[in-house]
Structures are given as structure tokens and as C-alpha cells.
Structure 1
Amino acid sequence: MDDPELEDLARQVGLALARQELMLASAESCTGGWLGQTITSIAGSSAWYERGFITYADISKREMLGVSSKTLEQNGAVSREVAYEMAEGAVTRSHAQVAVSVTGIAGPDGGTAEKPVGMVCFAWLMKEGLALTETRYFSGSREAIRRQAVAGALQGVIDLLHGIPPVTA
């Protein structure tokens, strides 16, 4: 990987998970597998990364993660509610004890006044029931927004494992 900040965050995630003997599953939409690629670029990540789901379309969120049609219809794919159900689906449809999900609008198109380009929703969940959700607003190019989303997702896993609540935007 050619991104020292993301590599460092992924290493920190791995160390925190390994210390607690936990496995991670990821569920991605707007990042399209970038989170999983970042994690698996760390040698030895198979000891703490169980699997990743890339669920770009709504149908894949429903089929692969069990996100309800009602939640998608009422809140839209870019919402804390969908992010939560994505994380819940990732942890229940894997052998992991921890899940992270990310869904957002990376642009350059697709934004609205209510949900602008750069809006990204995250969820972090532990199988035992602890869950955090957060919505953040990033700026820049499509690639910059997606990169910031990957960094935010990784930092959220670190914070969850250390018991630090996210800064809600």
C-alpha cells in the first residue's frame, strides 16, 4: 500500500483486535472494497480480519447483509440506520465479533441538499451488543472522500475497541 496514514490505522486496528482476540468483518458501499484492501495489505491480517462484504447496490445490501427494504425506503442507503443494519448483518453473517460499515455519497454526482456529496454514514458494532453510529461530511474529489471514509472507518474500529465514543457531526 502506498498510503502511510491508512497503513498505520490498519496496523492499529490489527493490534487492538489481536490484543482482545477478536475478528473483524467489514461491510462497504461507497468505498467499494478499499477498506478491505487496506486491511488485507497488512501482513498477518488473516489472524484478525474474517471477511468483507462489498454491497454497492441496495439489492446487495438486502441479499448479503439482510438490510431491510423498509429501512432502505424510509431512510435511503446513505443513513445511520442502513449503516447500522449493514454492520449488524456483517457480524451476524460472519464469524467475526466486531463489524464496521460505511455507506455514503462520494460524488461527483448523486448529492442532494439533504444528503450532499461527501456525506458518509458509519456503524461499528460488537457482537455482544455495543454499537456506535456516526455521520460525517468530507470534502474533496471522489477519491479524497472515499479515502477519508476508509480512514474514518478504521479510526472508528480503534475507538470502539478502546471505548472512545465518536465525535458526532
Structure 2
Amino acid sequence: MEIVLVRGDITAERVDAIVNAANSSLLGGGGVDGAIHRRGGPAILAECRALRADRYGRGLPTGQAVATTAGELPARWVIHTVGPVWSADEDRSALLRDCYTNSLGVADDLGATSVAFPLISAGVYGWPVDDAVRQALTALRAARPATVEQARLVLFGADTYATAERISTPG
């Protein structure tokens, strides 16, 4: 699988699946989650509400992933995953890597060949950007999906993109 760093807005990515850094309620929020719900329109929220009513009454567990329509986004699906909140006292990095791995598993189940990921947990959940990039790249490089040919790590802002470039370059 090819891993590509992209500086930009994840809601504009033309891919089979866009990953949403969701909160456990699946009902929208701020940051990436809010942007995806706003740009994707009401169809995403309607499917999220159905998931809550049917399978995830207590919310989507951290590290897990589930798909909905992409609504008006330039993708076929949105894969929602809940990242862990950063803690200096508890190592939650395995849960963060699970977000990427489980999202790729859902993408495989859907038959997606291209997936765009945000930098999960690096916003309001407080994960340090440099380590969030390391965890994302570790998970993506270790993955062996059956159908996904390209994973894009979409980074918002010049500083975040520069950090990701520095960390991803060997040497």
C-alpha cells in the first residue's frame, strides 16, 4: 500500500473512503468531525443515528471503526473512528494505532482502494502532533490491506505538514 502525505482539507479529497476522527456519539462535533458532517450533509448524520439506535447505543468504542455513506463528499463512504484522548500518565498509543488499522479493515470490507485519513487525536483530543504522526505512520506501514492501494494522511496546516514530512523521511 502506498502512503502519501497531503496538505489540505480532508473533505475535498477524492477517494473511495474518508476517515472521520469522530467522537463516540457519532453525532458530529468540532474539528474534522464537524467539517465532515457539514460538508457531507444530513445523510451522514441520518446513518450515524441509525447506527446508534441499532448497534452502538452506548457509542462507538475508542479504536473501533464503522462506515456510513459519504453524502455530498467526493467519496463513496465515511469511515468513523474514535481516537483516544492524550494522556501523559497512560500509554494509549495502541488505541490510536487501532483507529488506523480498524479503519483499513472496514475499507477492505467495503472494497475501497483509496482512503484519506486525518491526523487522528491530534486536535481537541490533545495528542502531540509529532507522536500522532509517528503512530499513524507506524500503523499504516504495518498494515497489509487486501484492497486498499493508497492511504493518504491529510494534514491541515503548513506546520503539521512540515512535521509529518520531517518524521516520514528516513535519515
TM-score (norm 1): 0.38
* Greater relative contact order structure (CA < 8 Å, 6+ sep): 2
